[in-house]
Homo-oligomer: A and B are copies of this chain.
């Protein structure tokens, strides 16, 4: 297993693990000593909502969905984590519980780092702490976008948002094969699977996208952006 390196820093909203460039050599060494990797199969649970938060993970290979579960059976797919995103959660420095579940979407490798180590590092590395604050603030901006999208847009706009998210943020290509099920797409867009399917079909009929099974292609991106903006 390769060690984390002090290479380029990254201001990406996703707190790539090279945020570790802010660590001292000694701190970096400590992290690399204690961290370990686990490989998960598709649909396996990496973190379970409600469970104890003892470690922060970094997705090093594969893809995982971040899922908010409520009292009924419905779920909201908050976002997707890809290499090399950090997945922590609001339980850190608060109640040390998980407030969402993380589920592997394919064969996925997660690197576990003790939450206590994070805490220790922060308590004597203020740059790292401030980078964490910056990261949390970017997550919050993302939540704001999700809140307004999910509450103010119609289904067409929400599905357009989902497709744009997958193409731009996850697969970085307008043509992609996904391991997300239709139900996952629906959970991301806060609607039923049937509604998601109908709207995907409409987009296909209108020539905005094409798909067959799990292979998608965005044919008219501007149109998708318009649909997203119109709501």
**Interface of A with B (CB < 8 Å)?**
68, 70-72, 74, 76, 78, 89-94, 99-100, 119, 122-127, 129-130, 132-134, 136-141, 143-144, 146-148, 150-152, 190, 229, 231
Contacts and interface: CB of A to CB of B under 8 A. Distances in A.
A126 B133 contact: no
A68 B148 CA distance: 8
Contacts of A125: 126
A152 B74 contact: yes
Contact of A91 (B72, B137, B152): B137
Contact of A72 (B71, B78, B152): B152
Given A126-B124, A133-B136, A148 B92 contact: no
A12 to B, nearest CB: 12
B130 A70 contact: no
A152 to B, nearest CB: 5
A147 B147 contact: yes
Contact of A99 (B68, B127, B141): B141
A78 B137 CA distance: 16
